[in-house]
Structure 1
Amino acid sequence: MQPYRSKEWAKFRSEVIRLDGNECTVCGRATSDGVVLQVHHKQYFPGRPPWDYPYDACETICRGCHAAAHGLIPPKFGWEHAGWDDLGDLTGTCECCGTSIRYTFLVQHPDWRPMEVGEICCDHLTSSQLASNLMESKRRYAGRLKRFVSSSRWCVLPGDIHRITQKRLTVEIVPVGTAFKLRVNTRMGKKVFPSALDAKANVFELIEQGTLHAYISKQVSHRP
């Protein structure tokens, strides 16, 4: 007779599940959530039938968490975020769900190999909102950048010079041959940009970092 089909096992299994509140002790889901509950032995004793164990030597877990506990599928919890990368396009694949992704998040687990996953799977595996918060921050940054480079505060002067003024900050994008340079409060920069749009994006980045404002403060403090 197969031990897991015996009356003794059925009775033992039912009691363990009852003691655990009729839900998975790992993910918290119940049969009402559509999962199958199983009983997992935390350790095995050779020669002992599966029902001849203390109740606290076993735990109720769903089929998915049970498979993860035995190393058949990646663990669902206990992962840590280890880094991220922008591939520039949808050229990556989430190793957890198979979705095409641009931004990859490296996650690590002591019982599984490192995986590169997408935003949603990273949040699920790490039980956090680290990936979604990072992506939301990037989306907000991209939105601010788009509004800045297309702002009506940019005016075009003779000679195709683009100028924007903000408080004591006057920035001009000056054509130099086929390229462009930045001129901040009459001081010409050295960096060359292939287009006015690239130069505007650089201005936005410097403003976000506070670099241009720091330059103005230093300039004012050195006035006689």
Structure 2
Amino acid sequence: MKGYRTSKWDEFRAEVIELDGHACRICKRAEPDVVLQVHHKRYIPGKQPWEYAYADCETLCKGCHAGEHGITPPKYGWKYAGHDDLGGLYGDCDLCGSSLRHRFFVHHKSWGTMQVGTYCCNALTDTEAASNHLESRKKYDDRKGRFIKSARWEVIGNNHFIKQKKIQIRIASTSSGYRISMNNYPGKQEFGSIEEAKTKVFEVIDSGKAEEFLALLVRTKKRCTPYELKSRFRIKHKPRYEDTS
């Protein structure tokens, strides 16, 4: 478990509350006497809750926030706005109070943003957005696990080799960690463990970013002299290794 990871919403929320002096704009009360929330003064279609201007938001306590919108949240008209994996049961559903690991953000033009669990997200949005997201996430994690543990990885000396989507991958052990090379183009980032390096390889290949970047390097190489290419990307020639797939 990587532990708690602050989302863009958490960061934006903290910034708004700080700008408002850590107190409710209406009753002036502050934590720990009240629970502070961020209220969106207006709804802007297409914007994520954390993409609003500060002027469009204000800090309200839970009671004053409810007073601005009514006693209970609307039952209809909610839109799915995002997801965050907290890594453990560190959150609470704003609707039912249940402990959350996977929190889903939902937004209503007359209420604002709430963080809720899977069931409440599905119910409020009248969709299976939360369930579908978790199912997709599970399939992704399963693919990642199979790639990391694949028997196709070949270990030669301090190097781990595999071929994936026609990309030759080498993870080399260094004095300070592990470094990735793809099609003989060495990366600059070092990883603390072989599992972290393999995870990174999976992420960039599964997302298509590796193919895009390598294609860009090939196109750039055709337009540049060897000296220009080396200067631009700091790439040193490495001997090719055999296909070990």
Please state which band the TM-score falls in when normalised by the shorter chain: 0.5 to 0.7
Q: Would the alpha carbon gap of residues 74 and 211 (structure 1) be closer, same or farther in structure 2, given more than 3 Å must change? A: closer
What TM-score do you get using the length of structure 2 for normalisation? Answer: 0.56
Q: Would the alpha carbon gap of residues 83 and 210 (structure 1) be closer, same or farther in structure 2, given more than 3 Å must change? A: closer
Aligned residues: 153
* Aligned residue type for 2:83: W
Aligned counterpart in structure 1 of residue 168 of structure 2, from 167, 170, 174: 170
List aligned pairs for 1:156-195, cutoff 5 A.
156-159=155-158, 161-166=159-164, 168-195=166-193
List aligned pairs for 1:45-60, cutoff 5 A.
none
- Cα distance in 2, alignment partners of residues 111 and 82 from structure 1: 15
Q: Would the alpha carbon gap of residues 114 and 200 (structure 1) be closer, same or farther in structure 2, given more than 3 Å must change? A: same
What TM-score do you get using the length of structure 1 for normalisation? Answer: 0.60
* Aligned residue type for 1:214: E
Cα distance, 1:172 vs. partner? 0.8
Look up the match of 2:107. Answer: 108
Using the TM superposition, name which of 103-112 and 204-213 deviates more: 103-112
Look up the match of 2:96. Answer: 97
Look up the match of 1:118. Answer: 117
Look up the match of 2:197. Answer: 199
Whose RCO is larger (CA < 8 A, sep 6+)? 2
Identity fraction in percent: 41
- Cα distance in 1, alignment partners of residues 179 and 112 from structure 2: 48
Aligned CA-pair RMSD:
2.4
Q: Would the alpha carbon gap of residues 79 and 149 (structure 1) be closer, same or farther in structure 2, given more than 3 Å must change? A: same
| Pair 1:84 & 2:83 matched | yes
Question: Between Structure 1 and Structure 2, whose CA radius of gyration is higher?
Answer: 1
Q: Would the alpha carbon gap of residues 77 and 158 (structure 1) be closer, same or farther in structure 2, given more than 3 Å must change? A: same
- Cα distance in 1, alignment partners of residues 126 and 165 from structure 2: 44
Cα distance, 1:109 vs. partner? 2.8
CA contact (8 A) 1:78 1:109 kept: yes
Structure 1 SS opposite 2:190: coil
Structure 2 SS opposite 1:132: helix
Look up the match of 2:130. Answer: 131
Cα distance, 1:104 vs. partner? 1.6
